[in-house]
């Protein structure tokens, strides 16, 4: 599986994504600067967590206008896989690649801790190595992780099996406890928790490994 990680100014999780992908796939991903207008030939594009542009204006808003995002959209339109983690999820909603928006946490405080998730859907390229209903623990680190969409959109996400992860104990006020969703073609996923931080027991757990294993099995 060939992969690329987009590097935005002030993002701080691109290296975490690189380490996780290298460990899981055996080859380092391409690190693509946000001003590049083209992507290398890859199967997976990862939009990492962090605080692109310092979350100025609105989290993910400025990054969504970066030159590379046209290439990311084209990659997704052709069926290529895209994974947005934390700030990457925010960028995906700002570009319209995923519905809804990420707002300030309900408690108006930054949250950084491991959280329990329920795996809601496994019939997709991102979660096939989990079991439906499985409880996993993955850390969050965000101030704007409160997922919002109107009821019609939420009903559609639920009805089409596009809610992949749900919080067991909602830390941020997200509608219907949503922690991760798919686009309608099921090749783009955004999630607020950080699976790249739990692929090695040295860093506190391995519950993120199945996500990367799912992608490797699908794309290799």
Give the span between the Cα atoms of 100 and 104, in whole angstroms.
13
Active site amino acids: 86, 194, 196
Cα–Cα distance measured from residue 32 to residue 14, given in angstroms and rounded to the nearest whole number: 10
- Contact in structure between 99 and 93 (CB atoms under 8 Å): yes
Q: 10-residue block means of pLDDT along the chain (220 residues)?
A: 96 95 97 96 97 81 93 98 97 97 95 98 98 98 97 98 98 98 98 98 94 96
Longest CA–CA separation in the chain, Å: 42
Per-residue pLDDT at 53: 81
pLDDT of residue 204: 86
Apex CA 127: angle with CA 137 and CA 153, to 5°?
Answer: 95
* Cβ atoms 118, 165 nearer than 8 A: yes
Q: Coil, helix or strand for 193?
A: coil
Domains with residue ranges and CATH for the chain? 3-219 (3.40.50.880)
Residue 93, SS3 per DSSP:
helix
pLDDT (0 to 100) of residue 73: 98
């Amino acid at each position: 599986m060939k992969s690329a990680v987009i590097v935005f100014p002030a993002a701080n999780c691109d290296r975490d994504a690189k380490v996780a992908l290298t460990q899981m796939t055996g080859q380092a991903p391409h690190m693509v600067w946000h001003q590049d207008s083209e992507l290398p030939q890859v199967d997976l594009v990862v939009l990492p967590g962090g605080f692109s542009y310092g979350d100025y204006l609105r989290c993910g808003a400025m990054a969504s206008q970066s030159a590379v995002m046209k290439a990311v959209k084209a990659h997704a339109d052709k069926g290529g896989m895209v994974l947005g983690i934390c700030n990457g999820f925010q960028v995906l909603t700002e570009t319209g690649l995923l519905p809804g928006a990420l707002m300030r946490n309900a408690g108006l405080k930054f949250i950084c801790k491991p959280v329990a998730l329920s795996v809601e859907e496994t019939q997709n390229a991102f979660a096939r190595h989990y079991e439906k209903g499985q409880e996993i623990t993955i850390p969050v680190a965000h101030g704007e992780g409160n997922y919002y969409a109107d009821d019609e959109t939420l009903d559609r996400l639920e009805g089409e099996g596009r809610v992949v992860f749900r919080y067991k104990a909602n830390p941020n006020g997200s509608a219907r406890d949503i922690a991760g969703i798919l686009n309608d073609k099921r090749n783009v996923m955004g999630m607020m928790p950080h699976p790249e931080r739990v692929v090695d027991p040295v860093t506190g757990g391995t519950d993120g490994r199945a996500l990367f294993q799912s992608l490797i099995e699908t794309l290799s």
